[in-house]
Structure 1
Amino acid sequence: MANATERELQKQIGIIKRYAEIGKAATFDTDYEFLEPMTRTLDDVQVATGKIEQGDKKRHYALFWMVKNTQFDEIAFNNLNENNTDKAIDIWEKTLKSVVTKKNYSSYLNLSTLYAALSVTNTMIDLPMLQKSFKIKSQVLNSESLKFLSELISTNPNSVDATEISKRFVDETYEWLKPYIDKPLIIQRDNEQISVFEEEWEGKGITVQDLINLFRSYPENIRTYFSDKFTEIPISNIETTINKTEILRKKDPHNAEEFGHELYEKTIDDLKQVEKILGTANIQYQMLASKLAGEILQCAIEFFNVFIKDDELDPGEEAIGLCDLAKTIGATGQIDERIEDTTETIQKWVDGKSEREAYKKVANECEYINNELLLCNDSRPSIQNARLLIKKCEPKLLQLKTKDDGKPYIDTSDLVVNVAMGMIVAELNSAQENFTPSQIDSLSAKLSQARNLIATIRRMDMSSATKNRLLTNITSIVSSDVQIKAAIEKRSSSCYIATMAYGSYEHPQVLILREYRDHKLSRSTLGRAFIKSYYAASPYFVVALKNHHRINKLIRSALNIFIGSLKNE
């Protein structure tokens, strides 16, 4: 047993040595039938003894064997000696509780070890039983439970480091089960034997994902430590190839399209392996996929930008092809949005090939405006950037109109109007989605800026479809502006306590209190709670006290004292 005394251990070693000296092998009660046959040479014994001389090593190897500590253990081992394995399992299972205790710890350890021994042979793996073993072992390895193991095998309980012990257990498990990965075996899954030699079974044995799933009940850091053993090399290969491609792309953007395709071909198999192990929902996988897709996309962008002015080479189709490859990677978040936006932009350029001939006589103006629009794709959507776009493009549009006021002019004007309007709406939507009552003045200012800029945009020439969209947005913005201004007016006229006391929302003393609210009170949890309670209750106080001049005078006096203390801070 793993908790045998030193005297018992030396006695067993002596027996093995005496048998070995006469060329025979000693046998013991613990040579159970479900274990693989073993040999015990003198060298084997010496090596094994050396491995358990130190306390931490003894504790490590005890995790893979059994201990005898209770009467239940005694009965279970008697059944194992008689080859009544099911009876032994039943005895230990009945002692398992919702919590591991000092009394039942040996049952958890013994049962998890027995399940592991029974689940793997040279010809078959019983996956459900193996999973059961690891689930129970996770409770054995709990930091609170490991002290019981140290007590059982007489090692120092103060030296217990659950994380390091679990990692060593993972390392040992990996070396034990690694030879069985994809090995032609019979796999027991959900109580149904499936031979790998049957045509309907496509697998070759226990899979990497099967092994990773064994650790589902373990802490996240241990699960990650184990999965890293299978993902470290492919992830390193992918990241190294991405970095090399980035260097090549920056050095020679004219060949960026070729670099992008090579990057995809060299990394896609490794990425699929990582995906199979970690799953698409895994954060590490998502970051890796986004990084790979982002570099392929950047190759498309730089290739397109380099040749967009080239009269002999049309880069559109090749760039779209790279964008499509980047899309297949399955990136998420901003990278996925960039792929969509870039693809849409380039696709419009590809679709407009026949029309570009008509633009040649106004090429300078159109080129300038198109470049500004491309820059907008990489800039933050804002009213300020929309204003800058209009300011830069409007003079060029007027020049374009003098040369050709037909389709090239209207189409280009439509593009500018739509992009500018999109940036305005994006900033307003963002401001409204994240709106809090304390930001009402800021939102009102944004709406006013938007209305002023829209007045300029509305005077520009555009198609009827674009004008209809613009009018729809104008209606929405004006409606929001009216509502916000009404709310400000209502806030100003609602005569909350300070406003009631001083008679004006813009009174200097009220301004000081507002500044204190916005810049100090609102920055603490308690302060925000007070603000919320104040705005909920103060309208009722105002209704009750607004005509009581003496009380208002007392409130002013109290507020003046408070404001004076603020000024002295």
Structure 2
Amino acid sequence: MKIIENNPYRQLGVYTNSPVRERVANHNKLQAFLKVGKQVDFPLDLNHYLSPIHRTSETIAQADASLALPKEQLKYAQFWFIKVTPLDDIAFNHLQAGNMDAAIDIWKKKDCLSSLQNRIVCALLEKNYETALNCAEQFYTQYLPDFVAMILGNGNGGTNQSLAFDFIDILCEEVGANIILPYITNKSWKEHVSAAQIKPLIASIEAAIEVAKSSRGKGSSARYQAGIKLKNDTKVPLQQLSVFLPTTDLQYQMIADKLGLEILQCGIDYFNGSNAYDAAKKAMSIQSYAMKIVVGKMAKDRCKQNVDILQKIIDELPPKEIYKEDRAIHDELQKFCQLPDTISYAVTLLNNTRPYLQTIKTKLGASNTYYLKISTQVVGNALHNIIEEVNAVQQDEVVQIGGKQVPISMLVDRDRKLSQIRTVLQAAWNATKIMDTFDMEQDFKTNRYNQNRAILKDLCNQMGISTSPAIPRPRTQPVSQPRVITNPNNNSTNSSGNKTNWGYQGYIIAVIIAVIIGFISMCN
């Protein structure tokens, strides 16, 4: 410890209770030798245990100045040796000869002011903090007034209870409160250390949080760096705080939750603003840490919700080599999702995504699971629009005629209604022929696509629309309008955890077409 190594009593070669005249004599001797360039050694240099002293005129003057005030004399006396009894003489002979164990054994024979104080200093030299604190508790409880009187002289034997706290404060400053605290058994000392350490630790964590908050609005990279810095800068203070406060303590919970939620938000902001392939994994590195340190239920739930979303995104990440194509496809799907459910937009989706799907197929292979999954996703969304528009054109109010339900539009303007139906069915079949060229997952193709295709083909045949296998030239001009949306591969992990869900539900309704065909036959 520096306060022992550089103790002014050691610099002057005296015990803490040595007469002032001895201190002055040593000072004069040192100055005289230093003038001729020589060093002086004293028995209390204790070079067996401490670094050798290199004295100068400045260090000697500083040592004298450090002992000018009573308060300073007491401060340094707490961390140096005192000689009071004949046993002390014997013990110091062993100590100065390099045999500390023998000296300690002598001081252990009888507990008194000097034996306890000297054992405290020896224990600190050996970094035996448990012994030092055990001796200190007995020393400051039983001998403090006598100690003060012995250092400052008769008439100065006040209790000066703050000396015990001063002793503990210096230990915590030099050794570390987290190291010292486990060895403290005195309740008031423990509370003093905790109170003294908690406030600056919380202040340092709060200051780090404010620094991280200042990065908001400065871009995704700045938020990521802020999250990493906040995590690293507060890891030790938070761990130290947990030594002084249980995690169930409200004060600990509040600062831990505040810290964790800001780290979480850094991850969210980074992920939402980043297009990098590994954005989810990088965000996870700090969001998972946030979930680990928060304590309160609401904070834990929010962290878990976002971590679960990120994990799902990570699990569904495409192979890195096709990330660019995958992102482009999902951009198209996002735009498509915002547009009306019409066949024309389905065709646009198919035509716009086909080149990217072909590239993925080339890179991964036609049987690759991820390729089939995303190709099916495109077809499923296009099929949804086809189903919706075919079903919509058949929607009409009906009346009973000859025991049959006949659409009113057929009575008002039969030719116009039939033309509408034929136009939609023709467009639907043309789109279907484009979808036929897309690869799909077998379950989807068998149980949903083929069933709807068969229904549509039957409707077209009933209306006299050719269902030949020839594939029309695909449109190249997109008809979709631009939208400002979020890429699902770069989806926001917010507290609600909402995700875009691409469904393939729905079947073509063929009931009204059959009624129309029946009505035409009846009229003919």
TM tier relative to shorter chain: 0.3 to 0.5
Which has more helix, going by share of residues? 1
Q: Which has the higher contact order (CA 8 A, sep 6+)?
A: 2
Q: TM-score, normalised by structure 2?
A: 0.45
Q: TM-score, normalised by structure 1?
A: 0.42
